[in-house]
Chains A and B, each alone.
Chain A
Amino acid sequence: MKRRLPASAKIWTRRAVLLLETGILLFWLGIALQNDRFIITSAILFTYLILALMVSSGPSKGVSLQRNLSVERTLEEHPFQVNTKITNESATSSLIQVMEGFPVSLDIVEGGPHYVTFVGSNSASTVSSILQADFRGHYVIPAPSATVTDEFGLRERQIKGPRPTFVSIMPPIEDLSDLALDSRTAQPEIGTFRSSSVGVGTEFFGIREYLPGDEIRRINWKASARTDTLLSNEYEREHVTNIYLVVDLGTARVDALKWTVRTAASIATYLLRTRNRLGLIVLGQSTSHVRIESGRRQLIKVLDKLVTAEPGGSAEPSTYLVRLLEEMPRCEILVVSALASEAIWRTVVALRRKHEHVSVITRTAKSLEADERDLVVKAALLLYSLRRRATIQQIKNAQVKVIEIPADRSVRTALAAIQERPLRH
């Protein structure tokens, strides 16, 4: 049976074993050949080993590792700090190599994956690294490990950190609070969606004569002074609405994926923070969904789904999606897609068949042909662009509004630039 080494056993390094074996070999050669020079050489090797072992402090026993992160969740391309505390509780100071074990998908901004540190007796040292992730997801950072060695690297002791740590990288969420959206599926509750009728709201609608019961703060004093009649301001009524966000991740392009998830996350955050009811369907490697709900817990569910969604798939309307459509309440449907796959239009058409109010938000394809020198690539991009235009036309033919946002503009400025009511057809 194979004997397992204890977790923090003191072992000799390969180099030390090589030295020792060479010494033994030379010694026996000296005996066999009756040659004093072989024996003296082996004696020199042994003397070195003994001296080095005597002089060096050796790998300490009481070394332990602890890790903590500055955040549990952060945004894409936002740096966060990883601290590894090395505690040496032994009576001797130690030379410690720390292997952080950072996953390759995390970029190291400062610090490094491999340190040597010198920790005095009964003291601690903290090594910090700054990392960042370019792409959303739940990341596991394996437990750090350390090798405590003596100065000459002849003996070492392996130490493993307690457990792995986790960090969630969220897509950046833009502030869309100043957007004015409109809905035809308004619910009776007062909310933020304009309903084109007079009532309680914040958006100015018009002026009318003062009626008994009107609030004093609604009186338009300037207009009243001009006309010598008491006039009141009227405001547009605002409601909450039901929205299903359909996110298409059927593209292989990282920038398109990032854009899709960022846009979806920003819109979802805005809609849920303004007390609307929101559901989510993700068309990725597999179709998954979050049932329509409102509130903070729903926001966490939606963001978590967006963070973990795997890209890929064909974006074809699956039986699962068809069943979901049957169960959906009357609602607005907002599709966020890079429109990279032709199949998405079939899904949009399927959605349109069941629901009256479907809009597609997509980003304008970059004009890559201009800066591309390779003719084959240029032709392929041109073909892609034409196919995409055809897809957009097919979607428009199904009476679905397509909102194109330039890729270099933020979601907020782009949606605002569309001039109001992006959900209305």
Chain B
Amino acid sequence: MTSVRLAEITFLRIVLYGMFLAYPTIMLRNAFLGVSANPIVSLANFFMVVALLAGLVAAITLNYVVGYVSFLAVFCAEFLYNMPLLVFTTHLAVALVFAEGLSSLRLYQSVSGVIRPGPHENATASLHACLRRFRSRLVLVASGLFVASSAYGVFPEIVPFASGLTSLALYATISIIAIALTALYLGDRE
């Protein structure tokens, strides 16, 4: 039973890292895989490599700090590539789902490692249920985030007044609402 649990966790790791690896390969193929004399693009490539390596380490160790390092490296790379806003936002969404998905798996991984199988070990079924539930919720959150980030990406193009400081103010308002909502959660203590 332990091997089944580990296989399930390993499968999730591979899927998450595959997604993280596939995005730049597909969307940033020309910039990332091409040869450029531009030093800024070279620096962006460097950050992209850092992101992929940190991502690999995060996929192996399930460490959330390394996961966020890869997220920030993606941010730096995208910032330096100066890609269209839609690519920028969706790539960040992918990186965030990757980092968060891996960090959330750490708990399941550590538990499956300490359980010794036997007739009295009844945590296996629960762990399966937990993993199934986590998987479905992660898909839900990832889809929602992808839709939201696409919306952020196309928003300035479809709204005529959303340019320059106007769009900045609009995004700021959205962000402040987000902060307010999270602050409400933070204050929700008994």
Which residues of A come within 8 Å of B, CB atoms? Answer: 6, 8-12, 15, 18-20, 22-24, 27, 30-31, 34, 36-37, 39-53, 55-56, 61, 81, 95, 97, 108-119, 125-130, 149, 151-153, 155
Contact = CB atoms under 8 A, between A and B. Distances in A.
Contacts of A49: 178, 182
A117 B134 contact: no
Interface centre among B89, B110, B141 (most CB of A within 10 A): B141
Contacts of B190: 6, 8-10, 61
Interface of B is mostly: helix
B96 A116 contact: no
Contacts of A116: 107-108, 111, 123, 126-127, 130
Nearest to B151: A47
Interface centre among A31, A48, A129, A155 (most CB of B within 10 A): A48
Contacts of A43: 152, 171, 174-175, 178
Contact of A151 (B111, B134, B175, B186): B134
A115 B123 contact: yes
B149 A47 contact: yes
Interface of B: 64, 68, 75, 78-79, 85, 88-89, 92-93, 96-97, 100, 103-104, 106-108, 110-111, 114-123, 126-127, 129-130, 133-134, 137-138, 140-141, 144-145, 148-149, 152, 156, 165, 167-168, 171-172, 174-175, 178-179, 181-182, 185-186, 188-190
Nearest to A93: B133
A12 B185 CA distance: 9
Nearest to A9: B189
Contacts of A11: 189
Given A61-B190, A125-B126, A51 B111 contact: no
Contacts of B165: 34
Nearest to B186: A12
A56 B114 CA distance: 26
Interface of A is mostly: mixed
Contacts, number: 184
Contacts of A8: 190
B179 A41 contact: no
Contacts of A37: 78-79, 85, 88
B123 A34 contact: no
Contacts of A109: 116, 118
Contact of A110 (B92, B121, B167): B121
Nearest to B140: A55
A42 B176 CA distance: 10
B148 A44 contact: yes
A27 B172 contact: yes
A10 B187 CA distance: 10
Given A12-B186, A114-B111, A151 B104 contact: yes
Contact of B89 (A9, A30, A44, A56): A44
B83 to A, nearest CB: 10
Nearest first, the 10 closest Cβ-Cβ pairs linking A and B are: A46-B178, A110-B118, A117-B126, A112-B114, A128-B120, A39-B171, A116-B111, A112-B115, A118-B129, A115-B123
